[in-house]
Amino acid sequence: MFKYLLPIIFPSWRFFSSIGPSPRIEVGFVADKNSEPQEWLPFRALPQSINFPLGLQRLFHNPLWNERLYINTCAEHLFEGHSEFREREIGQRLVVAVLNREIVADDEFHYLVFRIRALESETGQVRDEVVFISKPFALVDIGGAQ
């Protein structure tokens, strides 16, 4: 009986075959579709520290973190190959973040572009490369955003 309870108490993490690249999403703004962003801003960068009450609150209610996990999953799928659906999902959620003033863009910009950087550790060195740059997304109300 005890041998059946042991895996519940001490779960095995052997289902991870390896640790893959970690996506980092950055946002840039342009005035027209043919321009390239001059500056890239991190999207929902991780905080340096979280105090205990906030950590406890986030344990039970953290919708922004859940959305960030979903966006990272979409980004990981873009590592494997282009998907119009995944690109559109990330782009629309970033536009909503701009419309909700989570990300602040100057009024001169009319489009948002995002890029995905892949961070990967190889033999003690961290490799950081841009693996995807999106098409421009218009900064207009996309239905449901307020």
With respect to residue 9, please indicate whether it lies within any of the assigned structural domains.
no
For the cut 70, the answer to whether the pLDDT of residue 16 exceeds it is no
With respect to residue 6, please indicate whether it lies within any of the assigned structural domains.
no
Q: What pLDDT score does 19 carry?
A: 74
Q: What pLDDT score does 143 carry?
A: 45
Assign 3-state DSSP to the chain and report helix, strand, coil percentages, each to 5: 35, 25, 40
As for how many domains the chain has, the answer is 1
pLDDT tens digits, one per residue of 22-47: 899 999 999 999 999 999 999 998 88
Three-state SS at 53 = helix
Q: What pLDDT score does 144 carry?
A: 43
Domain that holds residue 115: 18-138
For the cut 70, the answer to whether the pLDDT of residue 12 exceeds it is no
pLDDT above 90 covers what percent of the chain? Answer: 57
For the cut 90, the answer to whether the pLDDT of residue 52 exceeds it is yes
With respect to residue 7, please indicate whether it lies within any of the assigned structural domains.
no
The set of residues, in sequence order, having a beta carbon less than 8 Å from that of 122 and lying 6+ positions away, is: none
- Select the more confidently predicted residue: 20 or 74: 74
With respect to residue 10, please indicate whether it lies within any of the assigned structural domains.
no
With respect to residue 3, please indicate whether it lies within any of the assigned structural domains.
no
